Structure 1
Amino acid sequence: MSQRHELARHRQKLAEAREVMNSMKSLAFMETRKLAQFLVSQREVVATLKEVAADFLRFHQPPEAYTATGPAVYLLIGSERGFCGAFNEALVDQLETERDAQEAELILCGHKLCALLEDDRRILHRVEGVSVVDEAGTLLVRVSTLLADLNLQRGPILLRVIYQDDEQQSVRVDQLLPPFLPAPAEGSDNNTLQSQVPPELHLEPREFFSELVEHYLFALLHEVIFVSLMSEYRRRTQHLDGAVRYLDERLEAMQRRDNQLRQEEITEEIEVLLLNAAGAEPPADT
């Protein structure tokens, strides 16, 4: 009986672990559904701001203050929690392939990523990550405040972000600052009749561009955080799904082992009964 009792205790622990992991998987799946809706509208905002910037830059040069010099600063969006495979390791691998990685400074988001690069001399700041979609705004405020302080201290910086993009099936590296791509050349096929008319501004061009950059950076950071969270949740769902299937297989195997042990116990009990019955039979008549 001791074997079966030990097996039962082990099965109970595995069953409890399985329920916890299954709940985590369900939560991650629900978060992806919420994020999918947010991402659509956020991408539309970013696309609109890019169109406005492209239209502005056809007729105005960006202020010199937005031309960054000096070492790059990399913002890495990692995970706050685990159970998402090599999510953070892939970010670090991508960082080391960057041409200016050795001289760069790092801003790390997420507890797991920070732990991975705990003693890295390049770390400038560590930022607490988020676990659910509803906390994304909190992370956005933390990062935005940090970047604003950095801009006040140093002036314009060269800022790139490294994050996971599940739709692209790869780690992405995007430049956040200086913002926007060069304006299309005159006569480009992308220019429409409407784009040949200078935009009507109610602010000075410098002031307009400054506010546009602020809105754009805020919106783009929002999109990047959403994309990274989506990748994290999808990886966590896949990782936990595999773990749950593995535990189900283990539980089934342990159930078969329990049945086997029970059959052996029943067989032993029957043998004992037969031996006792044989010993209790009266001696034969002579």
Structure 2
Amino acid sequence: MSRRRELEDHLHALREISGILRAMRNLALMETQKLTRFLATQRRVVESIEAAAVDFFTFYPEATRHMGKGTPVFLIIGSERGFCGDYNERLLDGAEQHFKERALQQPLLIAVGRKLTAKLDHDPRVEASLAGPTVAEEVPSVLISLMETLRDLQTRQKPGIHLEFTIVHRSASAEGDQIHVHEPMKPSPHHSARFAYPPLLNQAPFTFAKDLIDQHLFSLLHEVFYSSLMAENLRRFQHMDQAIHRLEKETAELVLSGNALRQEEITEEIEVIMLSAEALKKQW
């Protein structure tokens, strides 16, 4: 009886865990569906800014030549919560591979996401660690903290030196989650002009270029945070789904074991009854 009781207690615990995992999986699915709408809208915003930038830099290529070189800063967007497998490990592997390809020994890093920053605790390259968003509605507040961090970092640079910003994150796609690297507003001088005349400006080209790059960065950051959060939730959904399937398999095996033990107990009870009946017959 005690062995069957232990099985029943174990089954009860597994069913409770399965219920919690199902709730987490459903929340991840709901967040993914919401982020799909956010991403579609933000992508259109970024595309419109990039189209305007192509027109501008086609006619004013000198606006970029006056900016000079800057300090490389990498924003790495990881996960704020767990239960998403090797999400952060693969992200860091992709970032390190990018550093090797570009021969970057000591780039400045800004890490976002509590689970990611925990893995970079003792990395001397990390300039700042920020909490990441857990839902789409938290993205604007995270961006405000990030902009304040970038402003502080810019003030520590020498006069005339700007920050060369690169974003590394994981993105959901049809082929699965992938490592994406964005270098905001890297204009190419080889674009052909779409219009016969240059755009009319109310500012100097260099001033307009700086404002355009800032606007593009801010819009792109919204998109990559939404994309990263969506990839995280998709990975969490898959992780939870696999865990639920394993629990269901283990639960089914325990139910069979419990049934077998119950059958053994019934058999033993029948044997005891029959032996008792025979003993009574002998007494009579």
TM score, norm. by length of structure 1: 0.90
- Following superposition of structure 1 onto structure 2, how do residues 1-286 of structure 1 map, counting pairs within 5 Å? 1-60=1-60, 61-62=62-63, 66-70=67-71, 72-97=72-97, 98=99, 99-154=102-157, 155-167=161-173, 169=176, 170-176=178-184, 179-185=185-191, 188=192, 191-192=193-194, 195-282=195-282
Equivalent pairs counted in the alignment come to: 275
Contact 2:110 2:127 in 1 (8 A): yes
After TM superposition, give the deviation of residue 236 of structure 1 in Å. Answer: 0.8
Give the Cα–Cα distance (whole angstroms) in 2 for the partners of residues 152 and 28 of structure 1: 39
After TM superposition, give the deviation of residue 94 of structure 1 in Å. Answer: 1.5
After TM superposition, give the deviation of residue 64 of structure 1 in Å. Answer: 5.4
After TM superposition, give the deviation of residue 183 of structure 1 in Å. Answer: 3.3
Q: Secondary structure at the match of 1:225?
A: helix
Post-superposition CA distance 1:251-284 (Å, at most 9, x none): 1111111111111110000000000000000468
Post-superposition CA distance 1:109-166 (Å, at most 9, x none): 0111111122111111100112112111222212122112222332411221111122
Code of the aligned partner of 1:67? G
Give the Cα–Cα distance (whole angstroms) in 2 for the partners of residues 91 and 62 of structure 1: 34
Give the Cα–Cα distance (whole angstroms) in 1 for the partners of residues 162 and 141 of structure 2: 24
Give the Cα–Cα distance (whole angstroms) in 2 for the partners of residues 198 and 137 of structure 1: 34
Contact 2:139 2:226 in 1 (8 A): yes
Contact 1:39 1:227 in 2 (8 A): yes
Give the Cα–Cα distance (whole angstroms) in 1 for the partners of residues 252 and 240 of structure 2: 18
What's the % identity of the aligned pairs? 37
Contact 2:66 2:206 in 1 (8 A): no
The ranges of structure 1 where at least 4 consecutive aligned residues each deviate by more than 4 angstroms after the TM superposition are none
After TM superposition, give the deviation of residue 63 of structure 1 in Å. Answer: 5.3
Q: Which moved more, 1:275-284 or 1:19-28?
A: 275-284
Contact 2:57 2:187 in 1 (8 A): no
CA RMSD of aligned residues (A): 1.7
Give the Cα–Cα distance (whole angstroms) in 1 for the partners of residues 104 and 265 of structure 2: 66
Q: Secondary structure at the match of 1:146?
A: helix
Code of the aligned partner of 1:184? H
After TM superposition, give the deviation of residue 202 of structure 1 in Å. Answer: 2.5
Post-superposition CA distance 1:143-192 (Å, at most 9, x none): 1221122223324112211111221642111213xx3322335xx3xx33
TM score, norm. by length of structure 2: 0.91
Question: Residues 35 and 218 (structure 1 numbering): CA distance in 2 closer, same or farther, change over 3 Å?
Answer: same
